């Protein structure tokens, strides 16, 4: 595969996964720890000992981006974006392992 095909593959996989996650994202707070993490990100608190400071700081950045009406929706967009990128990384990894298996 050349670089152009990899780019098209990335765009297609990213768009499909992003669309599905965006369609199913919680519009506000949901049950259990999700609401706690969103509240801690908004106030820069500590959710659980020992906490997850990097996750809280990144989620705080997403709560500051001005889209959507609810803070919970903005914070949940971190998961949407993260899973969309993860799916493409997974596809690239499995494609490389398939290619290595064919060479052996």
| 64-100 per-position pLDDT tens digit | 988 888 888 888 888 899 888 888 788 777 765 555 5
Residue 100, pLDDT score: 52
3-state secondary structure at position 71:
helix
Residue 54, pLDDT score: 86
Helix H or strand E encompassing 26: none
| 4-56 per-position pLDDT tens digit | 877 788 888 889 989 999 998 888 777 777 778 888 888 888 887 777 888 88
Q: Where are the domains of the chain?
A: 3-103
Q: Which is nearest to 92 in space by CA: 2, 20, 6, 5?
A: 6
Residue 19, pLDDT score: 93
Residue 23, pLDDT score: 93
């Amino acid at each position: 595969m050349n670089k152009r095909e990899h780019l098209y593959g990335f765009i297609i996989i990213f768009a499909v996964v992003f669309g599905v996650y965006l369609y199913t994202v919680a519009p506000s707070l949901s049950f259990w720890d999700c609401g706690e993490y969103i509240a801690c990100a908004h106030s820069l608190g500590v959710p659980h000992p020992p906490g997850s400071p990097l996750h809280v700081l990144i989620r705080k950045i997403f709560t500051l981006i001005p889209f959507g009406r609810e803070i919970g929706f903005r914070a949940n967009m971190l998961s949407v974006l993260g899973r969309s990128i993860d799916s493409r990384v997974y596809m690239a990894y499995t494609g490389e392992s398939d290619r290595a298996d064919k060479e052996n």
